[in-house]
Structure 1
Amino acid sequence: MFHKEFFIFDGDKPRRAVIRNYTEDDFPSLIEIQKECFPPPFPPDLLWNIEQLTNHITLFQEGALCMEVDGIIAGSMTGLLVDYKYGDSDHTWAEITDNGYIRTHNPKGNTLYVVDISVRPRFRKSGIGKWLMHSMYDVVLHLGLERLLGGGRMPGYHKKADLMPPEDYLEAVIKGELKDPVITFLLRCGRTPIKVAANYLEDEESCHYGALMEWKNPFKPH
């Protein structure tokens, strides 16, 4: 079981924080977080449901993390194991995560794949997303995996789609010429882009593209 205790700061005020595996008792809070992160007109049937969350804790509990701040669940992150090799054909989020049900989990996989990361809006300036991401890196190390991998949305791309292809947009973000709400965050968390995947997810802001980004286990040969 994963358990990490530390302090985060709200301005200059320290606040007690815990990152741990989530359990069935946390399901109502996790669903509430999804509602806060994805308000209408986001389709409610795409938010976490009990069956998905149950699969997360039964199929791969090591990849089911939540973060509490002063006893309140402020965010969560979920992953599954897949077997990935460079040069594999493109995949969609729905295909590789089984639409969030993670029945595609491969216990012998070499890669921890990110299904979701969600942080309550009122906690987003406290570094919670980065803490969760780095805790998943801990899971990669603990299980001796090769990498953490996931597709990042590019929600700023629709503003530049008439001017450049998605690969050029991603390169401009990497160079610091543009800032993207998601890709820039992932870069700050230590993730490195591999490639752009077309039709990765239904997301008009990203023009349905995703940036496949990894974090390599520094103790594994590359």
Structure 2
Amino acid sequence: MRYRSEFYVYDQEKPVPVVIRNYNKNDFDELIQIQSECFPPPFPAELWWNKDQLNNHITLFPEGALCVEVNGELAGSLTGLCVDFDPDHPVHTWEEVTDNGYIRSHNPQGSTLYIVDISVRPKYRKLGLGKLMMQAMYHVVIELGLERLLGGGRMPGFKQKSAEMSAEQYIEAVTAGDIKDPVISFLLRCGRVPVAVVEQYLDDEESCNYGTLMEWKNPFK
């Protein structure tokens, strides 16, 4: 199954053409550049994509390798794999479930589409591209008959609040609208729902190494 959707978004009052499609080898250099723009220090550079990882994405699960173009320029990407997920035992790390981004852990029989990464170039972030890519991946979940989309969201605003509240309290405050988090609030706007807060989910100083598992359930299952 290949994905391609062409439409327009508005940059202020001007419509601009957008394409969401599966990425391929020709996109690798630009995808790595986008990662460097999206995750500058103190985020570890070794966690940016490398070409071996990207090649696995398009080989093992091409349906889960999506990118977005604006006026012909690559503006972002969204990557996933299929896994078995037990809601009664939700704790895991990003490295464990994604095979450190190489997705050799992809299970073609898995019932959950797990988000490995989402990235949108900073100069395009006001166009709503992240939400549009997430919606495209919901289409993939429905088309493949999976139960849910799941992924661990970074909590980059948590470090500033960690002295006064726990990670769980922070997520409760974000969900209540008392605090805005750049990632968690975005995922809420995309229709994702918090499932669990996981300690040592990812090597991420801004999130104090926490992540919040957030899901979107297939409404047709």
Classify the TM-score, shorter chain: over 0.9
Give CA deviations for 1:185-217 in whole Å, capped at 9, x if unaligned.
Answer: 000000000010111011121111111000000
- Equivalence for 1:57: 58
Shift of 1:94: 0.6
Give the distance between the partners of 1:80 and 1:156, measured in 2 at CA. Answer: 27
**Counterparts of residues 1-222 of structure 1 (less than 5 Å):** 1-220=2-221
User: Which amino acid is 1:37 matched to?
Assistant: C
Shift of 1:36: 1.4
Give unpaired runs (5+ residues) of structure 2. Answer: none
Shift of 1:163: 1.3
Give the distance between the partners of 1:65 and 1:199, measured in 2 at CA. Answer: 27
Shift of 1:43: 3.7
Give the distance between the partners of 2:41 and 2:147, measured in 1 at CA. Answer: 38
Count matched residues.
220
Runs of 4+ in 1 over 4 A off after TM superposition: none
Question: Bigger CA drift: 4-13 or 31-40?
Answer: 31-40
CA RMSD after TM alignment: 1.0
Give the distance between the partners of 1:164 and 1:39, measured in 2 at CA. Answer: 26
Identical-residue share of aligned pairs (%): 64
Give CA deviations for 1:67-91 in whole Å, capped at 9, x if unaligned.
Answer: 0111111000000000112112510
Give the distance between the partners of 1:21 and 1:89, measured in 2 at CA. Answer: 29
- Give the TM-score normalised by structure 2: 0.97
